[in-house]
Structure 1
């Protein structure tokens, strides 16, 4: 009889202890259970549980550049485009004039270089074909039709027949060199075409750019004075855009000067060969007593 009440008391104590531990565990889990349905991200996650975190990271990485894209898309406020958009008629006219000067300089450089290359090719043809001909007339026929050497040779041949009227008062030995020299002068004048433009551009374009700079700085200072703000961010843009004019003027002038000096030196070498040819041609025609055939 004594064991049964003790067993019953032990059993009651054990049940009470289990009830206490169960109550504490229930209280510990109680705050987590109501917060789960209140999470805002729970209804917006239709994807699989394993793919939720990578998608979230990828969306964050895509969102970051998207937020910075407007900043990178802003145009340079200190560039040439800003200079053109913010300038007036005078400044734009200066830019257009400098553009025409630059385009003309490069065009003349390319054209004159091709012309000089053609002259050198014609000079090689003279060495191969003209001096091996039996007569001056045959030598002229062997040259290219658009050759300057052929033009000079034809002038020498024509001088032997075109010696009538008042020209007959000029001795033949003087008339033939005069005709050949006149043809050489025409060739030299043709070779000099365009070089004056290069010299003009090389000497004036820096001052044209400087005029644009002064005009731009004047308007920049006027705008700053009207606004009443002379901070560095207000001054750097307009003044820097105006100084671009000077840089453009130098960029136009330097190639023009270099091209002029280079082409003039090549022209001198070519004309030396032309004059040598004319002297030899004159000696041949005069030595044959005017008989070019």
Structure 2
């Protein structure tokens, strides 16, 4: 009898595709959600790596320009008021406020340094939003995907027990397919969650380093302008 049950179970297709099509509608929805979250998460990860590499390269190029010894006014005239790069935008925001803070007679309006700081802070905040956009999805996926997969597993096991009760049999051919279908949901939850958690931590650290570079530049730039004010 046991050999017959094992033979029946061996005839069942246990591929992921077959298990998906045999699953209940609820478990199928859970699986599709997790597959979609996994693909979307990987799309964000790849895009962020591309964006962060470009941001680091642009910041390095701007640093070379900024510290080349070229007068700040000439550098500002060269890059314009609305440049493309993040570091360029922060510099342009500070220089724009610097020029607006001069009266017609050439004297500075009181509180120029504070306004320049605020202008660059706003520009930095905008760049931070761009850098971190999408990371929240990775964090949410990493935190919730295992539980969504567990819900699918619990629902699938519930359905498997119902099948056992209906068939009045507990042999392997009846139990194994239902349990296997249920466990696929947990596996998909882990497949979605593990990369999301790993790369969320990695990308968050990269974003913090890039933002620290922008903030350090803003502080140095403010110091340079303060020296000119004192002079």
TM-score by length of 2: 0.85
Equivalent residue, structure 1, for 2:84? 146
Structure 1 residue 163 displacement after superposition: 4.6
Distance in 2, Cα, partners of 1:288 & 1:75: 83
Equivalent residue, structure 1, for 2:222? 282
Q: Which has the higher contact order (CA 8 A, sep 6+)?
A: 2
Equivalenced residues, count: 215
In terms of mean alpha carbon deviation, does 101-110 or 264-273 score higher?
Answer: 264-273
Distance in 2, Cα, partners of 1:286 & 1:159: 13
In terms of mean alpha carbon deviation, does 130-139 or 215-224 score higher?
Answer: 130-139
In terms of mean alpha carbon deviation, does 279-288 or 143-152 score higher?
Answer: 143-152
Equivalent residue, structure 1, for 2:7? none
Q: Which of 48, 58, 61 matches 1:122?
A: 58
Equivalent residue, structure 1, for 2:163? 223
Counterpart mapping for 1:9-24 below 5 A: none
Counterpart mapping for 1:1-293 below 5 A: 77-140=13-76, 141=78, 145-163=83-101, 171-289=111-229
* Consecutive unaligned residues in structure 2, runs of 5 or more: 1-9, 103-107
**Structure whose CA Rg is larger:** 1
Q: Is this contact kept in 2: 1:212–1:245, CA < 8 A?
A: yes
Change in Cα spacing, 1:204 to 1:280, as seen in structure 2 (3 Å) is same
**Moved >3 Å (runs of 4+):** 142-145, 161-164
Q: Is this contact kept in 2: 1:152–1:183, CA < 8 A?
A: yes
Secondary structure of the residue aligned to 1:241 is helix
Q: Deviations over 1:165-191 (max 9, x none)?
A: xxx986112111111122112212221
Q: Is this contact kept in 1: 2:83–2:92, CA < 8 A?
A: no
* Consecutive unaligned residues in structure 1, runs of 5 or more: 1-73
